[in-house]
Amino acid sequence: MPKMKTKSSCKKRFSFTGTGKVKANQAGKQHGMIKRSNTVIRNQRGTTTLCDADAKIVKKMMPYGG
């Protein structure tokens, strides 16, 4: 049986925590910061964990991820 391929777009954007949750960068930080409030910019720092429904989709695309 051949190995399953990992989606290249997913391996660039997502990683897994030790408990198997999916980590992702916060969305909406690339451009247009002038129109966003300081609170929004502050809350979008760092990474976040995906909800269970989205994590299930990502895990399907990364069979050897976690």
pLDDT, tens digit, 9 for 90 and up, residues 7-20: 999 999 999 999 99
Examine residue 55 and state whether it is found in any structural domain, yes or no: yes
Give the residue numbers spanning the domain of 49.
8-61
Residue at token pair 């429904």:
53
CATH of the domain at 27: 4.10.410.60
Examine residue 14 and state whether it is found in any structural domain, yes or no: yes
Kindly report the pTM of this predicted structure. 0.81
In which band, very low, low, confident or very high, does the pLDDT at 63 lie, cut at 50, 70 and 90?
very high
Examine residue 23 and state whether it is found in any structural domain, yes or no: yes
Task: Of 56, 66, 59, 44, give the one whose Cα is nearest residue 10.
Answer: 59
Residue 50 contacts by C-beta under 8 Å, 6 or more apart in sequence? 14, 21, 22, 23, 24, 58
Examine residue 2 and state whether it is found in any structural domain, yes or no: no
Residues 20-57: pLDDT tens digits? 999 999 999 999 999 999 999 999 999 999 999 999 99
Examine residue 45 and state whether it is found in any structural domain, yes or no: yes
- Number of domains observed in the structure of the chain: 1
Examine residue 1 and state whether it is found in any structural domain, yes or no: no
